[in-house]
Amino acid sequence: MSLDYQFPENFWWGSAASATQTEGGENGPKGKNIWDKWYESEPNRFFENIGPEVTSDFYNRFKEDIANMKKIHHNSFRLSISWARLIPGGRGDVNPEAVDFYSKVFDELIRNDIEPFVTLYHFDMPLELQEIGGWENREVTEAYADYAEKAFELFGDRVKKWFTFNEPVVPVEGGYLYDFHYPNIVDAKKAIQVGYNTMVAHAKAVKLYHENYDGKIGIVLNLTPSYPRSQNPADLKASHICDLFFNRSFLDPAVKGEYPQDLIDLLAEYNQLPATKPEDKALLKENLVDLLGVNYYQPRRVKARDSQPNPDSPFMPDWFFDNYEMPGRKMNPYRGWEIYEKGIYDIMINLKENYGNIESFISENGMGVQNEERFLVDGRIEDDYRIDFIKDHLKWLHKSIQEGCNVKGYHLWTFMDNWSWMNAYKNRYGFYSVDLKTQQRTAKKSASWFAEASEKNGFND
């Protein structure tokens, strides 16, 4: 029987999570990262004052979680290594208990026919390195390269899909522009240096991997299309600049090995260029990604500014555009985010037309909902809204594949409800719900829908 939406053979069906959000920061020996520190100093900034100490206890329950992944026919799962767990302090000796933990997790995944996709850095700078400036400090790129080399050495025999960074623009926005990640600095010049040094660190890791290993290495970017309000030249310019700041500042160096000239010119005009080294140009040019993970949740809609920025205010990307709320847009009322499924198709067409049709996959897409127990029926959360969300995005993804886009898979954020940075457990995203008191996992309705789609490698409308 043919399906309405049949996906290519060996399509990656799975989900994604990160170390800090699932493992539990107080489980097992581990150095502190910036989240442990920030929560200790300002717990009030986290929803219901819930911090990263236990989260979803993956550290102790990974066997149960992986068995559940197998149950719903995952063939792949993306997780991250905690740098502060593997190398407490960020530099120096490896923590043997961390090696043992990650080895067991990867072995367990492989035993269950689930391929581990491993991210090296998911927002969780070791505290000691943040104290010397974090990514502002070029020295940290060397420490990161040493960490990457150690991870490849320890786990490269089993892990064949590596990602240097998850959403590297987020620590830039959160930590250095908009004050929603530690170190809570508002300084565009530092933000731009952080972004630049991150890509230097990325290229160093890619180089090491390509010289010594035979798998694939890539990066995971949240590519949020910047849609202009209208075709008016002022709106088009606003969306172009927004795209340069939030997408192309990482996409171009990762895939093309160079920064967009327009972005360089703009930063030069406002005296915001980062400090660079002469050898960086070749480093970026020669160490391109093999694979691109694409995180997509919502579109970004922008328009020309209604007013001139205050000339005395700190330089910001927002000097060049205003956000625009499109009338009649479809919303996820719980998260306050627009739902625009076609965005996933537009991203893939852009990669096909402008980025050499690089091998890519949806590494995150998902729907966060508050108080999901409202939808509990006979012990199961009936999350039809999530099924519709996944299905409608997959339809557009399918269309992009039919039109020749090089798309290899779809991972939902996330497998079981997990701790979400400042939002803690406010919005739930998982296929499995997690009871925070007992840590009991229970499959939601979306889990059985996804199990069937994965098993059949497609679905009917």
Rounded mean pLDDT for each run of 10 residues along the chain, 461 residues in total: 92 98 95 96 94 94 98 98 98 98 98 98 98 98 98 98 98 96 96 98 98 97 96 98 98 98 97 98 98 97 95 94 94 88 98 98 96 94 96 98 98 96 92 94 98 97 89
| Boundaries of every domain in the chain | 5-459
Torsions phi, psi for 417 (to 5 deg): -45, 130
For residue 36, the model assigns a pLDDT of 96
For residue 292, the surrounding DSSP H or E stretch is: strand 291-295
Torsions phi, psi for 361 (to 5 deg): -155, 160
For residue 396, the model assigns a pLDDT of 98
Comparing C-alpha atoms, which of 78, 69, 83 is closest to residue 35? Answer: 83
Active site members: 364
For residue 299, the model assigns a pLDDT of 95
Residues 6+ apart with CB under 8 A from 342: 396
For residue 424, the model assigns a pLDDT of 87
Burial 384-401 (b: 16+ CB within 10 A, else e): ebbbebbbbbbbbbbbbb
In this prediction the pTM is 0.97
For residue 94, the model assigns a pLDDT of 98
For residue 333, the model assigns a pLDDT of 83
Residue pair 205/331 in contact (Cβ under 8 Å)? The answer is no
For residue 301, the model assigns a pLDDT of 97
Give the domain 5-459 fold: TIM Barrel (3.20.20)
Q: What does the alpha-carbon distance between residue 151 and residue 310 come to, in Å, rounded to a whole number?
A: 47
For residue 1, the model assigns a pLDDT of 67
Q: What does the alpha-carbon distance between residue 237 and residue 304 come to, in Å, rounded to a whole number?
A: 8
Q: What does the alpha-carbon distance between residue 448 and residue 435 come to, in Å, rounded to a whole number?
A: 19
> 382-388: which pairs have CB atoms within 8 A and are 24 or more residues apart?
382/444, 382/445, 383/444, 383/445, 383/446, 384/445, 386/444, 386/446, 387/445, 387/446, 387/449
